[in-house]
Amino acid sequence: AQSVTQLDSHVSVSEGTPVLLRCNYSSSYSPSLFWYVQHPNKGLQLLLKYTSAATLVKGINGFEAEFKKSETSFHLTKPSAHMSDAAEYFCVVSDWVSSYKLIFGSGTRLLVRP
């Protein structure tokens, strides 16, 4: 069975400091993993996806995520937070083998202090 757990419901950082948003997954087979961002009252935008070609995945807006199979983690990072990064972030695993359901984490709200 597929599942995903986002370990923090809220993360608060100062502008210019690093961001770490944590995600652990469970998958019966090779996982299909994604990070999405949602600004208020908007749809979701893809930040990055894991494709098994590389364990360190680079996304848009300076975000990266590292796939660690031994830890079943796919944490999202950014070296320096910007005020515009304040949003809700979702870690997603896809059940691409059978149902094609998208399984969402509960989300992490990122607050950026000036």
Partner 1 sequence: DGGITQSPKYLFRKEGQNVTLSCEQNLNHDAMYWYRQDPGQGLRLIYYSQIVNDFQKGDIAEGYSVSREKKESFPLTVTSAQKNPTAFYLCASTLRGQNTEAFFGQGTRLTVV
The binding site for partner 1 (CB under 8 A) comprises 30, 32, 34, 36, 41-46, 49-52, 90, 92, 94, 96, 99-102, 104-107
Q: Find residue 51's DSSP bridge partners.
A: none
Nearer to partner 1, 14 or 30 (CB): 30
Nearer to partner 1, 58 or 101 (CB): 101
Min dist. Cβ of residue 19 to partner 1 (A): 19
| 3-class secondary structure, 43 | coil
Cβ-Cβ contacts under 8 Å for 35 (sequence gap 6 or more): 21, 23, 46, 47, 48, 49, 59, 63, 65, 74, 76, 89, 90, 91, 92
Min dist. Cβ of residue 2 to partner 1 (A): 12
Task: With beta carbons less than 8 A apart as the criterion, state whether 67 and 74 touch.
Answer: yes
Min dist. Cβ of residue 39 to partner 1 (A): 11
Nearer to partner 1, 13 or 92 (CB): 92
